[in-house]
Amino acid sequence: MYAEMRHLPRLFDPSQKVSPMPRYFFDFIDDGGRLNDDEGQDLPDADAAYEVAHAMAGNLMQSAQQSLLRCRFEVRDVEGEIVFELPFAEGITVPDRLN
């Protein structure tokens, strides 16, 4: 599971940075513990960090061989303060035919 996380594509390209942006860290938490994101991503704001966390959770939910409904991301800023938590259940999308 943790190996899959290290190979997820970055949704924002840090080399395209025009001005300094805040850095956000996406720590993966499940029943077995946590995997801290030591690299982080430079993103424009917390809303962009939420979109990245939501997309990563959805991607992991689709590719996982086990249920990740009880997993979550804790998203931290560079000072280590938790900006928000995103339960993986929020990464589930309902097909249009069910809406």
pTM: 0.71
Tell me, yes or no, whether 17 lies in a domain.
Answer: no
Tell me, yes or no, whether 58 lies in a domain.
Answer: yes
Expressed in angstroms, the distance from the first to the final Cα of the chain is 31
Chain segment 25-83, per-residue pLDDT in tens: 999 999 889 999 999 999 999 999 999 999 998 888 887 766 788 899 999 999 999 99
Tell me, yes or no, whether 69 lies in a domain.
Answer: yes
State the CB neighbour count (10 A cutoff) for residue 51.
13
Residue bearing the bigger pLDDT, 13 or 33: 33
Which amino acid, one-letter code, is at 21?
M
Tell me, yes or no, whether 74 lies in a domain.
Answer: yes
Tell me, yes or no, whether 15 lies in a domain.
Answer: no
The whole-angstrom separation of Cα 66 and Cα 30 is 12
Q: Return the closest-CA partner of residue 88 out of 57, 48, 49.
A: 57
DSSP secondary structure, 29-79, as one string: EETTEEE--SS-EE-SSHHHHHHHHHHHHHHHHHH-SS--TT-EEEEEETT
Q: Which domain holds residue 90?
A: 2-9+23-98
Q: What is the pLDDT of residue 34?
A: 93
Work out how many domains the chain is built from and give that number.
1
Q: What is the pLDDT of residue 31?
A: 86
pLDDT of 14 above 70: no
Taking the mean position of all CA atoms in its chain, how far away is CA 6? 11
